[in-house]
């Protein structure tokens, strides 16, 4: 009778075949490469940019966003203010069930400090069609140094499930060229329905 603590008698195992050892070495090497990629992406790849995250009272953030809107508002679309802050300024974007406010009009090549926060639950800031994703957490102000590198008309999509209206939570960021002109390709519509 054998217990798990005693080896059974005889040769019950075979040495690993050479090809198995080779595969194991390759797999282990690849694990190490992927592991090393995480810090590399952080330091070299421009991934996980180090934002300054600080605690903020959601009501205070909403009030600050409102002040920002009143200071720099240049228009309105479907009831949402369009705000064009000067280059170098602090920019506020508030996510809430189920909207992003305001519509931002930024300039290519200018640096801004983008403050993102939520008034209620977790949302996901996703800039479409560019691969930019951030968690938007109530009670925290995520301040990011951003320099738009491409002119265009972008959508902000919520990529964190936040309730029944999650799929309609759509915002807009317009990036003008260096002269402040809208660079929209011929025949392309600038119309967008922001619910
Ligand atoms: Cu906000 Cu999903």
What percent of the chain stands above pLDDT 90? Answer: 56
**Does ligand 1 come within 6 angstroms of the Cβ of 162?**
yes
Confidence of residue 184 (pLDDT cuts 50, 70, 90): low
**How many Å lie between the centroid of ligand 1 and the Cα of residue 48?**
21
Per-residue pLDDT at 191: 47
Ligand 1 neighbourhood includes 158 CB (under 6 angstroms):
yes
Ligand 1: which atom is nearest the Cα of residue 162?
Answer: 2
User: Which DSSP letter does residue 62 get?
Assistant: H
Q: Following DSSP, what letter does each residue of 76-93 receive, concatenated? A: EETTEEEE-PPTTSEEEE
Please name the residue whose Cα sits nearest to atom 1 of ligand 1. Answer: 123
Task: Say how many C-beta atoms besides its own lie within 10 A of residue 144's C-beta.
Answer: 18
* pLDDT of 2 higher than 70: no
- Report whether residue 119 contacts ligand 1, using a CB cutoff of 6 Å: no
Ligand 1 mean position to 160 CA, how many Å?
A: 5
Give the pLDDT mean for 173-182. Answer: 84
Q: Which atom, in ligand 1's list, is nearest to the CA of 167?
A: 2
- How high is the pLDDT of residue 23? 96
**pLDDT, tens digit, for every residue of 50-81?**
677 788 899 999 999 999 999 998 988 888 99
Q: Whole-model pTM above 0.85?
A: no
């Amino acid at each position: 009778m054998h217990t798990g603590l005693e080896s059974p008698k005889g040769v019950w195992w075979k040495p690993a075949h050479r090809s198995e050892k080779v595969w194991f070495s390759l797999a282990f090497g690849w694990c190490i490469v992927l592991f090393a990629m995480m810090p590399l992406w952080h330091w070299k790849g421009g991934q996980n940019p180090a934002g300054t995250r600080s605690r903020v009272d959601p009501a205070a953030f909403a009030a600050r966003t409102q002040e920002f809107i009143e200071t720099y508002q240049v228009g309105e679309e479907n009831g949402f203010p369009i705000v064009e802050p000067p280059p170098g300024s602090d920019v506020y974007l508030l996510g809430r069930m189920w909207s992003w406010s305001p519509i931002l009009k930024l300039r290519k090549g200018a640096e801004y400090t983008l403050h993102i926060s939520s008034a209620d639950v977790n949302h996901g800031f996703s800039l479409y069609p560019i691969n930019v994703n951030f968690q938007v957490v109530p009670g925290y102000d995520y301040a990011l140094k951003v320099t738009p590198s491409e002119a265009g008309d972008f959508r902000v999509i919520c990529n964190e499930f936040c309730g029944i209206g999650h799929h309609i939570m759509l915002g807009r960021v317009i990036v003008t060229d260096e002269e402040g002109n809208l660079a929209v390709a011929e025949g392309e519509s600038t119309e967008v329905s922001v619910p």
